[in-house]
């Protein structure tokens, strides 16, 4: 599997969607009587407590009760069920049971669409899961990604454009598609990105970043062939020169030559010389960029064991990116928390936390105010970052400004009975208190 060399900040971008989930939920709540609603709410509360405490069998038991008995109660069943199933998949060692869990996660997306709509958005999520866990179904994932873009159009999340091109490249290399189809996909993405840039502000810069990564796919075809031919000869002559191997690897990574078997062979060889250190981090990074975030986690984990605190922090945040990529933002926050234990005065970690929170805004809470509250807590993190490290001030202030645009209006505060300065607890997995602010 291959994925573009997308910068880590892209994976920390918030999810973009114009559909109001709250409206979908309100209609479904009416299908249950008050007793059933209380029962389902209790199941979900117990699930959240157990999941947060890492009691996964118990969490699965409680979540499953809500899912089986009250599938139309709340979209939260599906939003919070996906990270649970993903966690269980990561932990499962039995091949048969793992596949059943993967099938359950894919079905979860189908059921979410059945009860709560947002087909384009959810199809995109399903496609990413399929691409990550079932590489043999690459053509199916590619078709789903294209369908997601067709349905979402200018509201398509930037990462979906990148994944669509990634799967197309994968198909070209495996002989399942030709270059004519590749360039047709590029034209299709270009048309939709241009429209997204026109209508989505202030997210425009994120779409530009995504499109730069899409364009990167079309550049390295001939370059990678030349690099590989030259480096294979050097590797064959001496595969024990670690300095030379690292130099080759750095060149291939810089030119986004992830597709060749030699790049993987080179990364593994370097890792064999240093299983807890820079080589472990670099191999994890290769796997992540090559489209295997699940496997990359193992190597990032070993990178966190390095005695070099800078490398350990970098590995924790990379591991967090892998979790975000796999749609488990609570785990991404846990990785940032561990990084803070090593470097409590590292402002970049607070920037990372702010990005992680913004990434989850679209799926936080059942109503519009809950979603808006995510931007308050994200702004808190950016403010903390620049207080710790003044060098981050320019970037942090820009991100705070972007958050401010998404703060609620005075009319919305009034509608929810809130006023500036009130304490508000951000719901869902974030569960942090912040102060109410109004859009300026």
pLDDT digits (tens, 9 = 90+) for 320-366: 998 888 778 888 999 999 999 999 999 999 999 999 998 887 777 77
How far, in Å, CA of 324 to CA of 15, rounded?
Answer: 11
Same domain, 428 and 365: yes
The count of other CB atoms within 10 Å of the CB of residue 317 is 23
Same domain, 399 and 426: yes
β-pairing verdict for 433-435 and 423-425: antiparallel
Instruction: Give the model confidence (pLDDT) of 87-128 as tens digits.
Output: 999 899 999 999 999 999 999 999 999 999 999 999 999 999
How far, in Å, CA of 161 to CA of 153, rounded?
Answer: 10
Query: When comparing pLDDT for 130 and 244, which is higher?
Result: 130
Same domain, 300 and 410: no
Same domain, 291 and 366: no
Same domain, 275 and 363: no
Share of the chain above pLDDT 90, in %: 48
Among the candidates 329, 357, 388, a domain finishes at: 329
Instruction: Give the model confidence (pLDDT) of 355-400 as tens digits.
Output: 999 888 777 777 889 989 999 999 999 999 999 999 999 999 999 9
Domain count, the chain: 3
Same domain, 323 and 358: no
Q: What is the pTM of this model?
A: 0.56
Same domain, 247 and 193: no
3-state secondary structure (DSSP) of residue 255 = coil
pLDDT at 200: 67
Same domain, 47 and 142: yes
* CATH number assigned to the domain comprising residue 33: 1.25.40.10
Same domain, 208 and 140: yes
Among the candidates 168, 192, 219, a domain finishes at: 219
For the chain, what is the mean pLDDT? 84
Same domain, 157 and 261: no
Same domain, 284 and 393: no
- The boundaries of the domain holding residue 234 are 220-255+257-329
- Closest by CA to 248, choosing from 229, 231, 261, is 231
Buried b (16+ CB within 10 A) or exposed e, 106-142: bebbebbbebbebbbbbbbbbbbbbbbbeeeebeebb
Q: What spatial distance separates the first Cα and last Cα of the chain, rounded to whole Å?
A: 45
Contact 408, 365 (CB under 8 A): no
pLDDT at 15: 32
């Amino acid at each position: 599997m291959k994925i573009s060399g997308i910068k880590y900040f892209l994976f920390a971008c918030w999810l973009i969607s114009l559909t109001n989930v709250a409206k979908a939920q309100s209609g479904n709540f009416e299908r249950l009587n008050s007793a059933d609603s209380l029962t389902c709410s209790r199941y979900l509360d117990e699930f959240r407590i157990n999941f947060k405490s890492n009691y996964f069998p118990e969490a699965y038991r409680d979540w499953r009760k809500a899912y089986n008995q009250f599938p139309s109660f709340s979209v939260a069943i599906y939003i919070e069920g996906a990270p649970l199933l993903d966690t269980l998949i990561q932990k499962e060692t039995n091949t048969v049971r793992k596949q059943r869990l993967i099938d359950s996660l894919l079905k979860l997306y189908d059921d979410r669409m059945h009860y709560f709509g947002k087909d384009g958005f959810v199809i995109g999520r399903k496609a990413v899961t399929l691409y990550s866990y079932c590489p043999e179904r690459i053509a199916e994932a590619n078709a789903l990604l294209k369908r997601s873009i067709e349905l979402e159009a200018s509201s398509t999340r930037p990462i979906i454009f990148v994944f669509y091109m990634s799967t197309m490249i994968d198909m070209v290399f495996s002989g399942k598609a030709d270059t004519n189809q590749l360039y047709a996909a590029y034209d299709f993405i270009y048309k939709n990105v241009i429209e997204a840039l026109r209508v989505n502000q202030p997210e425009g810069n994120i779409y530009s970043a995504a499109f730069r990564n899409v364009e990167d796919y079309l550049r390295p075809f001939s370059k990678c062939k030349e690099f590989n031919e030259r480096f294979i000869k050097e590797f064959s002559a001496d595969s024990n020169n670690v300095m030379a191997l690292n130099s080759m690897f750095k060149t291939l990574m810089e030119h986004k030559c992830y597709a060749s078997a030699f790049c993987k062979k080179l990364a593994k060889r370097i890792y064999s010389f240093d299983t807890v250190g820079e080589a472990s981090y670099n191999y994890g990074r290769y796997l992540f960029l090559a489209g295997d975030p699940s496997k990359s986690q193992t190597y990032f984990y070993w990178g966190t064991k390095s005695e070099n605190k800078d490398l350990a922090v970098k590995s924790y945040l990379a591991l967090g990116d892998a979790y975000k990529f796999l749609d488990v933002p609570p785990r991404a926050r846990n990785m940032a928390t561990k990084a803070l234990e090593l470097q409590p005065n590292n402002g970049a970690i607070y920037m990372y936390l702010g990005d992680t929170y913004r990434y989850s805004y679209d799926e936080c809470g059942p109503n519009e105010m809950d979603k808006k509250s995510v931007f308050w807590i994200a702004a808190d993190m950016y403010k903390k970052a620049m207080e710790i490290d003044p060098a981050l001030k320019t970037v942090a202030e820009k991100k705070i400004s972007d958050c401010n645009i998404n703060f609620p209006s005075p009319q919305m505060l009034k509608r929810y009975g809130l006023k500036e300065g009130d304490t508000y607890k951000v719901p869902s997995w974030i569960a942090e208190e912040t102060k109410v602010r109004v859009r300026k």
